Structure 1
């Protein structure tokens, strides 16, 4: 079906004129809101049961680490098959995982071992889900010029849910339990499955060859493209350092601010507000060429905000710092995704996206595990300050290299 007419090419919502993208957008909006509600509830459940920052880091690690190891292999597999059918299957399995977690929690059978096991299962499924969704976006629109806007709007969904979901989770936890949050997330996947079933796609080009050949082809393309190499390194560093803040937020909420699940929801919501503002900025941009410079500046702002947050015991100041952290991380991650998908050939899209997601979430996992372990010995504020310092040094190094170039 042709896209709806839309005169202003700079329109913030221009990708929504495409029917398939609208169907995906609505379903994904509901699903992503449920995901954020579950994520906050799970973090609170872990810390409530164990009081352990190390267990928070371990759970985050096993939920994200499969992206690092499974993601590149998943990309080669994705490029050989029907992406829409695969995504429907993965979304259905994610819904079942959330409902099982809700049942275990409601019955009182949940414990740290089961939490880690369920997080690992979710991590494996997400290693397929994320590159599938990202690589399908180009097929949901009929005009490739709208692809950067579609990617930014897709990220805007995630960040809007990140802004709304955590405070909503805090309210739900105040009147009910973690089980209700997990149950609502399980139901939310139905919306995306229904949207995907209503979408009609033209047959897309599929990659041919062995998995080893396809994986090697994607790695060679990324390795021999200087711009892609630099962007991948940026994603690695910011997620290894700054993104690990999520592991420590329950510790700050309970121990630094003497709060509860509502306090945690506000902290996460502040980061979500910053992320939302960043995606609005990216969705309104037309130039991809200037994004690398924007990403570097945003990373430096993130580093400074981490240092402020680490040294603050005033909640309003910490909320402002958290908003800047969310803004900078999202500019880096989403901006990189826009650059990569704008340059990647269609036949290589699944593999390039999977390399990006494996780097983003894999090093987020490793960073989360490391900060959780360090926080158990050094304390959360010192570890947050260390992450900010490392990121600031990296930004200075990149800036000096760019100046010499």
Structure 2
């Protein structure tokens, strides 16, 4: 459905701009990596709590479109608020406002993705997952690159205004989505519904392996969000040039996503996630060796080629190992864990990177991703797969 991918991609484009632009805005106005890390963490951290709650509610409601639209409206208002207060008011205001926008952040990823089994027939889900991954990648390609270009050519403030415009356009696109009936709830209490999603993630070995690996991936990505703008200075580039590295990663990622779309279904999705993340970490270990920005861009594309298969495989793991009535809870809970891990990574990097330096930070991220893949494997002993095939809808 073109309307679905347009709405999802616009919302994710705005979100991807936020993650990078927040760091640039705080660094530009305060020159404080610590405050940049705290503000980025404040944007992502509330998702740890709100993700399971939102997922349980999404499974029980027929008002998903309204929830997604309210999320984008909140984002637009908060970004305008940040434009007014960062560098001009008390430092705590920036993290406080960022936390308000972050409270509904799982809706951007898990909220949209949880709709796929209701929108597409089972035999079309693999292809839908590939396009869903492309939606994420397209947003991640365009978001940081747009933020970097606008910040360099015009100003960081202009990049913030563009986020507001993108969020407003996404609301229009969301209004064109079909209304979907509730898929769960029944006689189950809301609290039981919330806990059910968490327990399913914890008790399903193959899903647990994918979730552990992909969550740690986001934690180390949070470190990169802070480290890369600072590393650009060491290469004689402006901090905003880091946005082009994220674009290079996603260009590589979307390439393998499209090329391997039909082949990925031949392997268990959790194995694809673990292998992809491990290879991504190994390539990142070469980044400190790059002495010029051009070489680093090439290495970023190579990193993206290895990381590309992880995202559609992660979607497939949630869908194959979760029953239909848990799709919303599993998607948003897993998304909240990933976003929360990114928040912790940013907060840690804000304090740690100025102390250890960017080269050591990059090596730490590379080794950490290899360890993440290994830990995911250790949490999933050999068990028979018990996939849940969604019933046909629409």
> Under TM normalisation by the shorter chain, which class is it?
0.7 to 0.9
Question: Counterparts of 1:261 and 1:371 in 2: how far apart (Å)?
Answer: 16
**Any idea what the Cα deviations from partners look like across 1:331-390, whole Å, max 9, x if unmatched?**
334421222123322211111112211221111221222232211211121122122223
Aligned partners of 1:311 and 1:57: how far apart in 2? 25
Q: Does 1:139 align with 2:127?
A: no
Question: Is residue 36 of structure 1 aligned with residue 29 of structure 2?
Answer: no
- The CA distance in 1 between the partners of 2:125 and 2:90, in whole Å, is 43
Alignment correspondent of 1:212: 191
1:42–1:178 contact (8 Å) kept in structure 2 = no
Match for residue 86 of structure 1? 67
Contact 1:238 1:391 in 2 (8 A): yes
Q: Which has the higher helix share?
A: 1
Say if 1:153 and 1:283, in contact at 8 Å, map to a contact too.
no
In structure 2, the CA distance between the partners of 1:64 and 1:403, relative to structure 1 (3 Å rule), is: closer
Q: 1:23 maps to which residue?
A: 3
Does the C-alpha gap of structure 1 residues 174 and 77 become closer, same or farther in structure 2, counting only changes over 3 Å?
Answer: same
2:79 is aligned, of 98, 110, 130, to 98
What are the within-5 Å matches in structure 2 for residues 52-131 of structure 1? 52-82=32-62, 83-102=64-83, 109=88, 112-131=91-110
Cα distance in 2 for residues equivalent to 1:110 and 1:329: 40
What does residue 200 of structure 1 align with? Answer: 178
Q: Give the counterpart of 1:181 among 159, 162, 166.
A: 159
- Is there any run of 5+ residues in structure 2 with no aligned partner, and where? 384-394
Pairwise CA distance, 1:290 = 3.5
Tell me whether 1:313 sits opposite 2:313 in the alignment.
Answer: no
Change in 2 beyond 3 A, CA 1:398/1:136? closer
1:221 is the counterpart of 2:200: yes
1:322 counterpart residue number: 300
Root mean square deviation, CA, Å = 2.8
Inter-partner Cα distance in structure 1 for 2:85 and 2:266: 46
* 1:348 lines up with 2:326 in the alignment: yes
Distance 2:4 2:291 in 1: 41
Cα distance in 2 for partners of 1:231, 1:218 equals 15
Distance 1:113 1:366, change over 3 A: same
User: d(CA) in 2 for partners of 1:290 and 1:73?
Assistant: 29
- Find the aligned partners of 1:33 and 1:72 in 2 and give their Cα distance: 23
Cα distance in 2 between the residues matched to 1:66 and 1:169:
24
Query: Does the C-alpha gap of structure 1 residues 227 and 304 become closer, same or farther in structure 2, counting only changes over 3 Å?
Result: same
- What secondary structure is seen at the aligned counterpart in 2 of 1:205? coil
Partner residue, 1:389: 367
TM-score, reference length from structure 2: 0.86
Which residue of structure 1 lines up, in the alignment, with residue 223 of structure 2?
244
In structure 2, the CA distance between the partners of 1:399 and 1:130, relative to structure 1 (3 Å rule), is closer
1:273-324 Cα shifts (integer Å, max 9, x gaps):
2232243245444616433332222122211122111343322222222233
Matched ranges for 1:357-376 at <5 A? 357-376=335-354
Residue 169 of structure 1 pairs with residue 147 of structure 2: yes
Instruction: Tell me: CA distance 1:221–1:91, structure 2 relative to 1, closer, same or farther (3 Å).
Output: same
Tell me if 1:274 matches 2:252. Answer: yes
Say if 1:399 and 1:221 are closer, same or farther in 2 by CA, change over 3 A. Answer: closer
For the pair 1:304 / 2:264, whether they are aligned, the reply is no
CA contact (8 A) 2:20 2:225 kept: no
Report SS of the residue matched to 1:198.
Answer: coil
For residues 257-272 of structure 1, what are the structure 2 equivalents within 5 Å? 257-272=235-250
User: In structure 2, how many angstroms separate the alpha carbons of the residues matched to 1:155 and 1:165?
Assistant: 15
SS of the equivalent of 1:180 reads helix
SS in 2 for 1:125: coil
Runs of 5+ consecutive residues of structure 1 not aligned to the other structure: 1-20
What does residue 14 of structure 1 align with? none
TM-score w.r.t. the length of structure 1 is 0.84
Q: Report how far residue 58 of structure 1 moved.
A: 1.6
Shift of 1:251: 0.5
